[in-house]
């Protein structure tokens, strides 16, 4: 069955066509949110605050107007993200393109630098998986590769969720949209690692150094210890799978497996299914901001967008909304001053542009800028797998909402 997707163009001739103040709230209104949210219902807006050097994350004012709209209709808004994987910089002492988001304290500092605070948002702001990424609920699923998902725990506090997503590229997933915001953004720290790497968790104690206690010191739950025999011991009942022990160990003691790009896509789509099953399909409002469409996700740096701004889309179906964004992008020409213009063989006449963006090879650990223009349909795999698992429909009605905004 076709799902409805509402579409508001990014074009605007006056303040009446504002993407932040007018089109964002109206996109939610079209989904019937006014008749669903009752007085004092708690509504969490889940978004991404961007890595420190990223300049193409969702603008704070977009979220502020969503927050104000939720108040207007009687709800109580909150703004949330989830902890990134790896070690907080306060422990590792190093800053990388991806760091600074590994615990709540550090990520909220990045959020502040990017303009997201309780004051600017008019709502509390926090990590859905708690200060260390270890607050989660286990959701059983019948997934392609996973049988359970560690859902970000603080979702339990909310009646509704607005999933406010920056639609853009992704060098592993093909693109980052609503599905990825569900499957990576709404799970606990450990589940992100399970999606990117694997689900094994083996210790090769023959590699463990007798006088080292680094992992014991960083473990937030006290699951690790050494006795008089100086052999590392683990209390599995206490482990909350934050994988900080793995991140700090430089002796290769802890093996969490490896992954292919195909596995990664299957796993985060499994995660997404777990989140929707846990929270409730009818309680999630999807809104995609298809603007600043770079090939990188918001966890990294930012290149020039390779597709011109498209607009704001909304739906109750995460597959349909992402498919609609992809289709609109593929109908567009690409930006002739972007990463795609480096591919000399590419003819700018309408094409599956997401098939040509740079891609990351998990086996070699290398990023391939694809200068010889090879096709890789990870975007299509993501949508196909999501539809097959029952997350939604790739078939949709695109309903363009036109606003008379000429002065
Ligand atoms: S950090 Fe590695 S080497 Fe050190 S105690 Fe832990 S497992 Fe052993
Ligand atoms: S044992 Fe490792 S994965 Fe488990 S809680 Fe401690 S640091 Fe996290």
For residue 405, is it within any domain? no
Q: Are residues 141 and 99 in the same domain?
A: yes
Number of domains in the chain: 2
In the predicted model, what is the mean pLDDT of the chain? 94
Any ligand 2 atom below 6 A from CB of 240: yes
Q: Please tell me the predicted confidence (pLDDT) of residue 64.
A: 98
Where is the domain boundary, 211, 229, 255? 255
Determine the distance separating the centroid of ligand 2 and the alpha carbon of 258, expressed in angstroms: 19
In a domain, 380, yes or no: yes
Q: Is the CB of 253 under 6 A from ligand 1?
A: yes
- Look up the CATH number of the domain holding residue 242: 3.30.70.20
104 and 23 within one domain: yes
Query: Which ligand places an atom closest to the C-alpha of 243?
Result: 2
Spacing, Cα 257 to ligand 1 middle (Å):
17
Same domain, 231 and 294: no
Q: Is the CB of 225 under 6 A from ligand 2?
A: no
| Contacts for 351 with CB less than 8 Å, ≥ 6 apart | 330
From the CB of 253, is ligand 2 less than 6 Å away?
Answer: no
- For residue 365, what pLDDT is reported? 83
Q: What pLDDT is stored for residue 300 in this prediction?
A: 84
* 314-337 confidence digits (pLDDT tens): 999 999 999 999 999 999 999 999
266 in the same domain as 249: no
Q: Which residue pairs, CB below 8 angstroms and at least 24 apart, start in 60-63? A: 60/114, 60/115, 60/116, 60/120, 60/121, 61/20, 61/21, 62/19, 62/20, 62/24, 62/164, 62/289, 63/116, 63/121, 63/164
CB-CB contact of 266 with 382 (8 Å)? no
- Give residue 97's pLDDT: 75
* Ligand 1 mean position, distance from CA 91 (Å): 15
Structural domain that includes position 91 = 3-198+258-400
pLDDT at 96: 80
Give the residue ranges of DSSP H helices in 58-159. Answer: 60-72, 89-92, 104-113, 118-121
pLDDT at 407: 64
Residue 74 lies in a domain: yes
Does 216 share its domain with 349?
no
The answer to whether the beta carbons of residues 314 and 30 sit under 8 Å apart is yes
Among the bound ligands, name the one nearest to the CA of residue 256.
2
Within this chain, do residues 191 and 214 fall inside the same structural domain, yes or no? no
Relative to the CA of 234, which ligand 2 atom is closest? 1
Is position 406 within any domain? no
> What does the pLDDT look like over 69-104, one tens digit per residue?
999 999 999 999 999 988 999 999 888 877 789 999
* Ligand 1 atom closest to 253 (CA): 7
pLDDT value, residue 73: 98
Instruction: Report pLDDT for 348.
Output: 79
Residue 407 covered by a domain: no
**Could you give the CA distance from residue 227 to residue 248 in angstroms, rounded to a whole number?**
20
Q: Please indicate, yes or no, whether residues 244 and 274 belong to a single structural domain of this protein.
A: no
State in Å: Cα 249 to ligand 1 middle.
Answer: 5
Distance 278 CA to ligand 1 centre (A): 35
The percentage of residues in the chain with a pLDDT greater than 90, rounded to a whole number, is: 86
Atom of ligand 1 nearest to the CA of 209: 3
Which atom of ligand 2 has the smallest separation from the CA of 222?
6
Among 221, 239, 255, give the residue marking a domain's end.
Answer: 255
Q: Are 298 and 231 in the same domain?
A: no
Same domain for 386 and 264, yes or no, is yes
Whether 161 and 240 map to the same domain: the answer is no
Statement to judge: residues 251 and 373 lie in one domain: no
| Series of mean pLDDT values for 10-residue runs along the chain (407 residues) | 96 92 98 97 97 94 98 98 92 83 95 97 98 97 95 98 97 96 97 89 92 95 92 94 93 90 95 98 98 92 94 98 98 93 86 94 86 94 98 98 83
- Classify residue 73: in a domain, yes or no: yes
């Amino acid at each position: 069955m076709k799902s409805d997707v509402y579409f508001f163009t990014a074009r605007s001739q006056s303040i009446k066509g504002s993407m932040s103040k007018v089109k964002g709230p109206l996109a939610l209104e079209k989904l019937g949110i006014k008749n669903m949210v009752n007085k004092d219902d708690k509504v969490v807006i889940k978004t991404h605050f961007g890595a420190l050097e990223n300049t193409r994350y969702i603008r704070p004012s977009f979220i502020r107007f969503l927050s104000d709209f939720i108040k207007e209709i009687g709800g109580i808004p909150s703004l949330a993200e989830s902890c990134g994987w790896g070690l907080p910089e306060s422990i590792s002492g190093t800053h990388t393109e991806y760091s600074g988001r590994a615990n709540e304290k550090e990520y909220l500092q990045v959020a502040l630098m990017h303009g997201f605070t309780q004051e600017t948002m008019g709502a509390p702001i926090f990590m859905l998986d708690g200060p260390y990424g270890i607050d989660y609920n286990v959701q059983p699923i019948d997934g392609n590769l996973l049988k359970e998902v560690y859902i970000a725990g603080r979702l339990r506090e909310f009646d509704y969720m607005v999933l406010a997503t920056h639609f853009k590229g992704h060098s592993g997933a093909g693109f980052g949209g609503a599905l990825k915001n569900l499957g990576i953004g709404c799970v606990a720290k450990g589940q992100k690692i399970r999606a990117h790497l694997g689900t094994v968790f083996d210790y090769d104690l023959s590699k463990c150094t007798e006088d080292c206690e680094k992992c014991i010191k960083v473990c937030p739950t006290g699951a690790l210890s050494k006795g008089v025999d100086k052999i590392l011991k683990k209390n599995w009942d206490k482990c909350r799978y934050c994988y900080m022990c793995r991140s700090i160990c430089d002796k290769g003691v802890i093996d969490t497996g490896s992954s292919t790009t195909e596995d990664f896509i299957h796993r985060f789509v499994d995660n997404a299914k777990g989140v929707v099953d846990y929270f409730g399909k009818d309680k999630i409002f999807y809104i995609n901001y298809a603007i600043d469409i770079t090939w990188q996700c918001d966890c990294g740096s930012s290149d020039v967008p390779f597709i011109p701004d498209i607009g704001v889309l909304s739906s109750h179906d995460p597959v349909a909304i992402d498919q609609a964004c992809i289709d609109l992008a593929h109908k567009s020409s690409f930006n002739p001053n972007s990463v795609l213009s480096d591919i000399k063989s590419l003819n700018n006449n309408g094409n599956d542009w997401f098939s040509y963006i740079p891609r990351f090879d998990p086996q070699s650990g290398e990023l391939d800028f694809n200068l010889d223009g090879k096709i890789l349909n990870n975007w299509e795999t993501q949508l196909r797998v999501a539809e097959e698992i029952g997350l939604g429909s790739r078939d949709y009605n695109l309903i363009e909402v036109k606003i008379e905004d000429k002065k």
